[in-house]
Structure 1
């Protein structure tokens, strides 16, 4: 089942994508409500909607798709060893993979207020190394118990569905910020694209292997030219374990979004820059288009816009370190 949000005739609607049509939810039903109710309930609602559809709905081509959800939070993991190997050189000048990476699946929080939808134009900061990141994102539904300290099996149970994620990245800004041993911050939080819809987890059950890995084929294209491809199962941890780790000493709740981290083998330009020793292929510029394809989910298109002028922030002032006025 595919769940989407869209705009038509100035109205925001959400519902199902069925074939080449979109079918709005009945009154009172929302994506957020279905996430909270859990996957089993959502599938029942969807089955009832499709049984009663009788050709109703609107042509998919006639609506503007939006991000398929408004996440309550976004945790973005870095779960592909091959990505870490390459991108670490281009971001911090050091090669290899830290031993710490292998122990637990690391993530950072990114900005839920700058989520973009399909075909939406990203407005980056002024930078010289704009990049994309090819990821699959887990959409959390109703988790077992209270969503706290989940086991890996319970983490897998909490997965409602999947969408495609493009973590737009200003690599030179990121590299400057991370010298302070924090971040990434402004190198990342200007835009995270999601879409084109949520595909519910039941659609992938036949592909999940005995360890919980999901071998979906992934592909990234810039201006129509393929620059990367990988399998989602090349992650160091299956997705259920990412959910479980995210829940440690806290909670995951319906509507939380967990990025897989960037795929390897050209899942971003930064990895290729690290391996090539130069910024080839070149960084993204205004007018470039990025297409991310994920098997059984679809395609997410994004357009690079021009950077906008922003007020300047002065550098830190020298201070006396006096302890009294």
Structure 2
């Protein structure tokens, strides 16, 4: 089942996507409501038997408004490229590392994506995200963790981050596909085909089963000593084999392909989920950040 949030004629609704288009739930029902309930009980009202709106007539929004968004780094091949020519840090193998990103800065499947202020090294990241329900994983969606690599590199030298290098925008979409649509292998992994292209040229191609940990283990680690909530989003981390530009830059020792520029179109397709397609646009022009003052440490 594909659950979408969309805008049509100025109104925001949630609905079920079928071959005919999107069928609206009753007014006021959100995808997050359905996730929290554990099952899309609103279907009992005969939503699929009601009228539909063609997808060409709606703007797809992020499928839900999540309470939190965690993003992991679960693909070994991606880490290899990011640290090249050095080896993968042994700490990567010990536990599935993640960071928190901004749940208030989400974009829809076809929205324009502005370059963050001050960035000259803008990048995409091809991922899949799991969305939690009350009793485990409710469903999956495509996750593009857009990254300002120059901002990210600077801030992580301070020992914190990523922060402003990541929090400008994350694309989720095109919809949320319920977990019962997928089959995991004997080790608990989803084996889905992942592809990303820029301006129609394929840049990356991987399999989701190449994750170092299955999603259930990412959830279990995130829950250690804390509390998760239905609707929380957990990204897989960027896949390998060209899942982002920075991985290729590390392997090739050059910015090949070049950083994203206004007008570039990034399209991602994940087997069993669908496609998202965003156009990069110029961001707002802000003055430089004022540097910190230095002090003589007088006490």
TM-score bracket, normalised by the shorter chain, equals: over 0.9
CA distance in 2, matches of 1:134, 1:18: 25
1:114 aligned residue: 105
CA distance in 1, matches of 2:99, 2:177: 24
CA distance in 1, matches of 2:28, 2:34: 11
CA distance in 2, matches of 1:191, 1:261: 15
1:32 aligned counterpart, secondary structure: helix
CA distance in 2, matches of 1:226, 1:313: 36
CA distance in 2, matches of 1:279, 1:190: 22
1:83 aligned residue: 78
Residue by residue over 1:25-69, the C-alpha shift from the partner in whole angstroms, topping out at 9 and shown as x without a partner, is 12453211111111xx32x5436535533xx12111111111111
CA distance in 1, matches of 2:242, 2:163: 23
Q: 2:184 aligns with which of 208, 221, 239?
A: 208
CA distance in 2, matches of 1:46, 1:85: 45
2:115 aligned residue: 124
Contact residue 62 and residue 172 of structure 2 kept, 8 A: yes
2:46 aligned counterpart, secondary structure: helix
Residue by residue over 1:92-143, the C-alpha shift from the partner in whole angstroms, topping out at 9 and shown as x without a partner, is xx62211000011000001111111111111222222111000000011113
Residue by residue over 1:286-319, the C-alpha shift from the partner in whole angstroms, topping out at 9 and shown as x without a partner, is 0001000000100011111102112432111111
1:134 aligned residue: 126
2:154 aligned counterpart, secondary structure: helix
2:257 aligned residue: 281
Aligned residue pairs: how many?
298
CA distance in 2, matches of 1:286, 1:107: 29
1:7 aligned residue: 7
**TM-score (normalizing by structure 2):** 0.96
Residue by residue over 1:206-256, the C-alpha shift from the partner in whole angstroms, topping out at 9 and shown as x without a partner, is x31111100000001000110110000000000010011111111110110
Alignment CA distance shift 1:28-1:122 (3 Å):
closer
2:196 aligned residue: 220
1:94-113 pair list within 5 angstroms: 95-113=86-104
1:151 aligned residue: none
1:5 aligned counterpart, secondary structure: strand
1:171 aligned residue: 149
1:191 aligned residue: 169
1:218 aligned counterpart, secondary structure: strand
Q: 2:216 aligns with which of 211, 217, 240?
A: 240
Q: What is the CA RMSD across the aligned residues, in angstroms?
A: 1.3
CA distance in 1, matches of 2:48, 2:34: 18
2:43 aligned residue: 46
1:258 aligned residue: 234
1:148 aligned residue: none
CA distance in 2, matches of 1:281, 1:51: 44
2:63 aligned residue: 68
CA distance in 1, matches of 2:48, 2:211: 38
More helix by share: 1
- Deviation at residue 78 of structure 1 after TM alignment: 0.1
